[in-house]
């Protein structure tokens, strides 16, 4: 059995965390009760005190508490708790972590959980779990569970939720993993409109001995891929779906932020880049599209997703942006251009077919790139098998070249 960290503000929610710890111990696991409270005296005795947590972040807690500034105290714990949990994980003292919280507790606990590796069991029971949790999760696999009622006492509802949460974290810790760590990793970006391309390239790369992790280019997916590239665990990048940059430039809902495409440059990872799905900007339901775009071309992907065709000016700007990012790459990088279509719906006869806009993208990109960056232009659609195979082959070539640098 394992040891599960039970982290929380034990001054205000000590009884609730003690209840969860007891349920966990009844399952045969050990617990490590960690106090990140900064108010009154802890309701229960912690195994790791708030002072020890603060010390892990080289923070002197007493002066902050004396000031009675709750925001400053929470911020201090947000900075210190991640360092403590990382150390406990590195020392092998915890096998999972669970927390219960409202606004402050959720901010502290999820900040700490984001500093743990992907795959490490982490569960947050929160009053905020039913809303937008993106800023709490970041790019990590934190499981968030709605508390339904406030984390403010033990009653028939809270006991049920907390017991189920304790069982969930125990189940995560108890689950044996069968993971292949032998094959080197390649990451790939994919959208529904580039699925065939990525799936075909993936088969070629797997036959060459690589494991391919596919990320959905939905903003969070691109951020998660960038984070994994930055970790240094990746041998190559097949970034053929750079669509998130269209949302970043134009104001769509699936932007991955201005750092997209930077991790491979910083980490020096060989890459293949294509302008997949830069013909589209993502919005929600049709009525949510800003009025300033009323005269544009739209495609209703489903009732919740409306796609807007990028125009020539936007495509020229996107080409310039991609080139600026790629010019910073130090490892081998190749750009592949599918001149007949950069998505399923930009092919001839499809609703987003716009040769002038595509040409503006291709011209801006190629003219702005460093001369040393290889550009392969193919009279194919992005999902053509021959294009996918060329992408895979170019990446394998770049990985070999990178190994010889």
d(CA 397, CA 400): 5
Instruction: Pick the closest to residue 149 from 130, 166, 171 (CA basis).
Output: 130
Q: Give pLDDT, residue 179.
A: 66
- Chain centroid to CA 285: 24
Please tell me the distance from the alpha carbon of residue 182 to that of residue 130, in angstroms, as a whole number.
Answer: 39
* Residue 300 CA: distances (Å) to CA of 63, 244, 296: 56, 18, 13
Exposure b/e, 195-209, CB count within 10 A at least 16 = b:
ebbbebbbebbeeee
Per-position DSSP letters for 87-147, written without gaps between them: HHHHTT--SEEEEEESHHHHHHHHHHHTTSPTTS-EEEEETTTTS--HHHHTTS--EEEE-
Domain 185-403 in the same topology as domain 3-174: yes
Q: Are 352 and 280 in contact (CB under 8 A)?
A: yes
Query: What is residue 180's predicted lDDT score, i.e. its pLDDT?
Result: 66
- pLDDT of 12 reads 92
Tell which CATH classification among 3.40.50.12030, 3.40.190.10, 1.10.10.10, 3.40.190.120 matches the domain 185-403.
3.40.50.12030
With H, G, I as helix, E, B as strand and everything else as coil, classify residue 340.
coil
Give, as one character, the DSSP assignment of residue 4: E
Q: Please, which residues have CB within 8 angstroms of residue 156's CB and are 6 or more apart in sequence? A: none
Distance CA 400, CA 268 (A): 13
Spatial contact of 374 and 390, defined as CB atoms under 8 Å apart: no
CA distance 151 to 300: 41
From first to last of the 405 residues of the chain, give the pLDDT tens digit: 899 999 999 999 999 999 999 999 999 999 999 999 988 899 999 999 999 999 999 988 888 777 877 888 889 999 999 999 999 999 999 999 999 999 999 999 999 999 998 899 999 999 999 888 888 998 899 999 999 999 999 999 999 999 999 999 999 999 988 766 789 999 999 999 999 999 999 999 999 999 999 999 999 999 999 999 998 889 999 999 999 999 999 999 999 999 999 999 999 999 999 999 999 999 999 999 999 999 999 999 999 999 999 999 999 999 999 999 999 999 999 999 999 999 999 999 999 999 999 999 999 999 999 999 999 999 999 999 999 999 999 999 999 998 876
Contact indicator for 90, 120 with CB cutoff of 8 Å = no
For the chain, the distance separating the N- and C-terminal CA atoms, rounded to the nearest angstrom, is 46
Using the CB atoms, write b or e for 122-144: b if 16+ within 10 Å.
bbbbbbbbeeebeebbbbbebbb
Identify the pLDDT of residue 373.
97
Q: Where are the domains of the chain?
A: 3-174, 185-403
According to CATH, what is the number of the domain 3-174? 3.40.50.12020
Q: What is the pLDDT of residue 404?
A: 76
CA-based angle 337:342:348, to the nearest 5?
Answer: 115
pLDDT of residue 177: 82
């Amino acid at each position: 059995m394992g040891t599960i960290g039970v982290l929380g503000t034990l001054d205000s929610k000590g009884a609730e965390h003690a209840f969860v710890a007891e349920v966990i111990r009844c399952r045969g696991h050990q617990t490590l009760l960690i106090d990140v409270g900064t108010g009154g005296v802890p309701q229960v005795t912690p195994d790791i005190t708030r002072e020890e947590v603060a010390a892990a972040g080289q923070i002197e807690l007493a002066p902050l508490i004396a000031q009675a500034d709750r925001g400053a105290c929470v911020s201090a714990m947000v900075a210190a708790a991640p360092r403590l949990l990382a150390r406990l994980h590195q020392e092998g003292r915890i096998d999972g972590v669970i927390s219960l919280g409202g606004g402050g507790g959720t901010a502290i606990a999820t900040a700490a959980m984001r500093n743990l590796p992907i795959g490490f069991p982490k569960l947050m029971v929160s009053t905020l779990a039913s809303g937008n949790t993106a800023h709490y999760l970041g790019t990590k696999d934190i499981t968030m569970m709605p508390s339904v009622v406030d984390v403010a006492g033990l009653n028939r509802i809270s006991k049920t939720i907390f017991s189920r949460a304790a069982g969930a974290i125990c189940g995560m810790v108890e689950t044996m993993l069968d993971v292949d760590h032998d094959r080197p990793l390649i990451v790939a970006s994919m959208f529904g409109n580039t699925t065939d391309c990525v799936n075909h390239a993936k088969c070629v790369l797997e036959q060459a001995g690589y494991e391919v992790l596919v990320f959905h280019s939905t903003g969070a997916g691109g951020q998660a891929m960038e984070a994994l590239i930055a970790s240094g665990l990746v041998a190559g990048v097949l970034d053929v779906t750079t669509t998130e940059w269209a949302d970043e430039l134009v104001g769509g809902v699936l932007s991955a932020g201005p750092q997209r495409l930077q991790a491979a440059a910083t980490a020096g990872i060989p890459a293949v880049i294509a302008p997949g799905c830069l013909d589209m900007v993502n919005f929600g339901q049709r009525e949510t599209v800003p009025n300033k775009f009323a005269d544009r071309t739209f495609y209703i992907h489903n009732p919740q997703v409306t796609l807007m065709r990028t125009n020539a000016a936007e495509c020229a700007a996107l080409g310039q942006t991609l080139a600026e990012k790629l010019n910073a790459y130090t490892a081998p990088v190749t750009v592949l251009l599918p001149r007949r279509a950069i998505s399923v719906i930009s092919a001839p006869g499809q609703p987003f077919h716009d040769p002038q806009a595509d040409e503006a993208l291709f011209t801006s990109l190629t003219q702005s790139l460093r001369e040393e960056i290889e550009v392969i232009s193919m009279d194919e659609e992005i999902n053509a098998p021959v294009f996918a195979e060329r992408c895979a082959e170019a990446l394998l070539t770049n990985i070999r070249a990178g190994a010889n640098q």
